[in-house]
Amino acid sequence: MLLIKLWNYLSGYVIIKIAGEYGERLLNQAALKNLYLWDIKRQNGNVLTCKISVRNFVKLARLAKKTSCRIYITQRVGLFFIILKLKKRKSFLFGALFFIAAVYLLSSFIWSIEIKCPDDELRISVLEDLRQWGLKEGAFKYSIDKEIYIDKLMAE
């Protein structure tokens, strides 16, 4: 069930309102054409609400003309519609991608080294040894092999 919901969200679906005397007939015709509708609820007398995928919505609209029902889209949901919105807002998309790249780049460097030790002399000597071996602020942290530095510290 979760996979179906996830697939429907990724491909996009619409929440529609079906108004007309023959709403049930439209649902029956949709079932005959293998159009998948879910969460069907009756709001009042001749009004039904349900959800349908974007691809099947066009086919349902054709069937609605035959059954003299009106279909209103109340909400668009899913990744499909989010991408359509982002296509219109290219500068926002560029800014978001730039922000993600900047955060990734800035998190790839060592900004500070903190050594917790009760003895001040030991802390200072360890910090000096690490700086001599190339581990200092501003170093690229993915090029550092932690095991080498741990072994050197243990040997000292």
Of 82, 104, 136, the domain-final residue: 82
Q: Identify whether residues 69 and 135 lie together within a single domain.
A: no
3-state secondary structure 26-73: HHHHHHHCCCCEEEEEEEECCEEEEEEEHHHHHHHHHHHHHCCCEEEE
pLDDT of the residue at 15: 94
Rounded to two decimals, what is the model's pTM? 0.59
What's the average model confidence in pLDDT over 81-110? 89
**Co-location of 72 and 12 in the same domain:** yes
pLDDT at residue number 26: 86
- Give me the domain span that covers residue 15: 2-82
> Could you tell me the two tokens for 61?
């609209």
- Rounded Cα distance between 27 and 40, Å, is 9
CATH of the domain at 52: 3.30.70.260
> Domain for residue 94, yes or no?
no
pLDDT at 150 over 80: no
Confidence bin at 98 (pLDDT 50/70/90): very high
Residue 37 has pLDDT above 80, yes or no: yes
Q: Structural domain tally of the chain?
A: 2
**Cα distance between the two ends of the chain:** 59
**59 in a domain, yes or no?**
yes
Give the confidence band of 17 by pLDDT, cuts at 50, 70, 90: very high
